[in-house]
Structure formats: structure tokens, C-alpha cells
Amino acid sequence: MATGKKTLDRALSRAGACSRAEAARAITAGRVAVNGRVVRQPETWVDPVRDRLTLDGAPVCAIGKLVFRLHKPVGYVTTAADERDRATVYDLLPRELPWLGPVGRLDRDTSGLLLFTNDSDLAHAITDPASHLPKTYVATCQGSIAATARQALADGVTLPDGRTAPARVALLAQDAHTTTLELTLTEGRNRQVRRMVEAVGSNVLHLVRTRIGPLPLGDEPLGSGRLLRAEEVAALRAAVSRAAGRRC
């Protein structure tokens, strides 16, 4: 296929009109036209530069690459729509934003830094296990976690999907009832921190992601966020490159 051409669903997604899944649904429903002709096949190849794309009669125009940071609260799922009608992170995004996809996920019971972007290459680089971009969490755990268990977390524990990579683990606070740990991971398995803590005999009571690569959680109020500045995006890209390079 000629350079620059994309499938219609991907072209709509890359332009920031909607997610790729939403684009496919809109196309099959007859809501999308290419050069004035309705097209119902999401896999149709188009040239986003030369072809005129419309969605519900409105032109689809490419927008610049954007990255938005959100201080996600507990109680929101990381999806655009939820079959159980639960609150989603999209309820928190400014209405004037174009469509941006979440970069990875935070589960409903986890708060902290969550990124959104329409730059699929950057999103893939951040979430790709091969990039090993560090992500930091603060976990308040049930009971007192012994030094040997903390070392096991740092060395790697065995989960049903394999042994975890070494992590940085720091003890922030501890008493007879709870232990607060800071964990920095270089992989992103589903509910990984919670499962690691369970593997050493405890449970996570409260979990917050405090950093993604060079980006700290910052001081945005809970439930709010902002677009990243150009220098922040540049630092994020550089960090992904450095993290990948260290493992090459």
C-alpha cells in the first residue's frame, strides 16, 4: 500500500475524531463518507491528506499531537464507555478536548497520574514492555510487611503470568496495622502492584501512581488535569528512548 495511506478507521482515530473502535462502529453505521461517498468498510484504504473525510457530515481534520495528564480519582474506570454504567475517566476530561486515548490503565480503585494522547506511536512506546519506562506507585498495605518480604518484592515475585522484573522498593511508613511502600516498576502487567503485594502475604488498601517516567503526579487537584507542555512531552519521549536503550 502506498506510503501515507491508512485504513479508514485508523485515519479517523489518528485525526483525533474518535477511538479506532468508535470509528469502526461509525463507519459500519454509514456515518462516514470519503470524497462525498458513504463508505461502510473500516478497512478501506484512504489517503488522509488527499481524501476528504467527513463524520456525520462534518469534515474530519487532522489535529496536532497532544498529551493530557489527569489526576485520576478512585471510583472511575479507564474506558470511554462502561457496560455497567459506572463513571469513566472521560467524564473528567474537558469537553473542548479532541478525542484522546488513555495511555495504559489505572483500575477503578487506583488513583494517580493517567495520560491521554492522540499520538499512538508515543502511547505504544510508553506502554510497550520493551521500553521499560519506570512507573512509580505509593501503596498503603495491610499489616506490617517484613524486610524479607520487601526484598522479595524488589527481587521479583512469582505470579501466575510469570516472575516479575526487579523493582525499586522503599519503605515510607510502617506500624502494626499498615505499611506504606513506594514501588517503581519497569513493566506494566494488569493490577501488578496489588498482585505483587498479595504474593508476599498482604493486601493493598490504597494505591496511587505518583510518576510516569520523568512526569510526577504534580499538584493538579484530584479529578483535574491539563495538557503537557512541549518540554514535558520532549522529556517523556527522551525518557522512553533512554529506557529502551538501557535494555538493548
Catalytic residue IDs: 107
* Cα 25 from Cα 48, distance rounded (Å): 19
68: number of Cβ within 10 Å:
20
Cα–Cα distance for residue pair 224/123, rounded to 1 Å: 21
Q: How many CB atoms lie within 10 A of CB 238?
A: 12
CB 38 within 8 A of CB 30: yes
d(CA 108, CA 77) in angstroms, rounded, equals: 5
Do 16 and 98 form a contact (C-beta atoms < 8 A)?
yes
Spatial distance between the Cα atoms of 166 and 151, rounded to a whole number of angstroms: 10
